[in-house]
Chains A and B, each alone.
Chain A
Amino acid sequence: MKALVKVTLKNGVLDPQGKAIHQALGSLGFDGIDQVRQGKLIEIDLNENDEAKAHAQVEKMCEKLLANMVIENYSIELEAS
């Protein structure tokens, strides 16, 4: 299976890079943007075909390394590879 892990900053955590993107979009004429938040997308190819097992495995990866739970949230999407 393939896991797509999205790591984003928690609400309330300042995102200076998101702010800079927001400003840049504004200066390009893209109006009507309330907020921009940026994060990371991590693709993991797993040799596990059981969805529940794959999910549990990736969750552990997130908690241990991929996300810093002080400032970040994560979400996991699985798809057949």
Chain B
Amino acid sequence: MKAAVIVFPGSNCDRDVAVSLKDAMGCDADMVWHGDAEIPKTDLIVLPGGFSYGDYLRCGAMAAQSPIMKDVVTKANSGVPVLGICNGFQLLTEAGLLPGAMLRNANLKYLCKDVHLRVERNDTIFSRHYTQGDVIKIPIAHHDGNFFADAKTLAQLEDRNLIAFRYCDSGGKITDEANPNGSANNIAGIYNENGTILGLMPHPERLADIQLGGVDGKTMFSSLVETLH
């Protein structure tokens, strides 16, 4: 399996996710500069976390106009899986590959902590090694992770079962108290219609090694490798 990690000026989780991918795949990921026109042939595109272009204007807005994004959109539309983590999720919404938008956290604070997530589906390439309803612990680190979509879009996401993960308490209950940033319906991550694009605010690559205190994130990478190898 081959994976490509897109590197923007201001990305800061690109190497972390490359380490997680290497650990799961057994080979190096291609690091692709945002100014390139084309991504080498790949089975997976990763848009990493960070602060692309300093989050100027809006998170992900500048990066969505980067030269490489044309090829990301073309490949995504032709079915190449795309994983957007944190800034990568913001970027996917700005590029129109996923619906909705991210607002400033409801409490206005930058949040950096472990949160519990409920796995809403385990029938996708990203989630097959999880069990549906699993409660996993993954860190968040963002200022603008308050997922917003209009009522119609939210209803579509719910009706079509496109919610990937929701913020929950340690027992798996979806409550307001367990919602760290004010996201609509406690949404932490969503899929596109075909389940080939996943955007999520939490950072699976930050809990993908026992030395980091947990491996709940590693399961996502092993799921991908098993499907895409």
Interface set of A (CB-CB < 8 Å, partner B)? 12-14, 16-17, 20, 64-66, 68, 70-71
Contact = CB atoms under 8 A, between A and B. Distances in A.
| Interface residue SS majority, chain B | loop
Nearest to B58: A68
A17 B146 CA distance: 13
Contact of A14 (B61, B93, B103, B150): B103
Interface in B79-104: 93-94, 99-101, 103-104
Nearest to B105: A16
B65 A65 contact: yes
Nearest to A42: B57
B58 A16 contact: no
Contact of A17 (B58, B101, B104): B104
B182 interface: yes
Interface string B180-224: 001000000000000000000000000000000000000000000
Interface in B34-65: 57-58, 61, 65
A12 B152 CA distance: 13
B103 A16 contact: yes
B182 A14 contact: yes
Task: List the 7 shortest-distance A-B pairs measured between CB atoms, nearest first.
Answer: A70-B101, A71-B101, A16-B108, A16-B106, A16-B104, A68-B101, A68-B58
Given A14-B106, A66-B57, A70-B149, 18 more contacts: A12-B150, A13-B148, A14-B103, A14-B148, A16-B105, A16-B106, A16-B108, A16-B146, A16-B182, A17-B104, A17-B108, A20-B108, A65-B61, A68-B94, A70-B101, A70-B148, A71-B101, A71-B148
B107 interface: yes
A13 B151 CA distance: 11
Contacts of A14: 103, 106, 146, 148, 182
Contact of A71 (B65, B103, B106): B103
How many B residues touch the partner, as a band?
20 to 34
A17 B107 CA distance: 9
Contacts of B149: 70
Contacts of B58: 68
Contacts of A16: 103-108, 146, 182
A20 B65 CA distance: 32
B138 to A, nearest CB: 24
Contacts of B107: 16
B93 A70 contact: yes
A65 B104 CA distance: 18
A57 B187 CA distance: 37
A16 B103 CA distance: 9
Interface in B6-55: none
Contacts of B101: 68, 70-71
Contacts of A12: 150
B182 A68 contact: no
B157 to A, nearest CB: 13
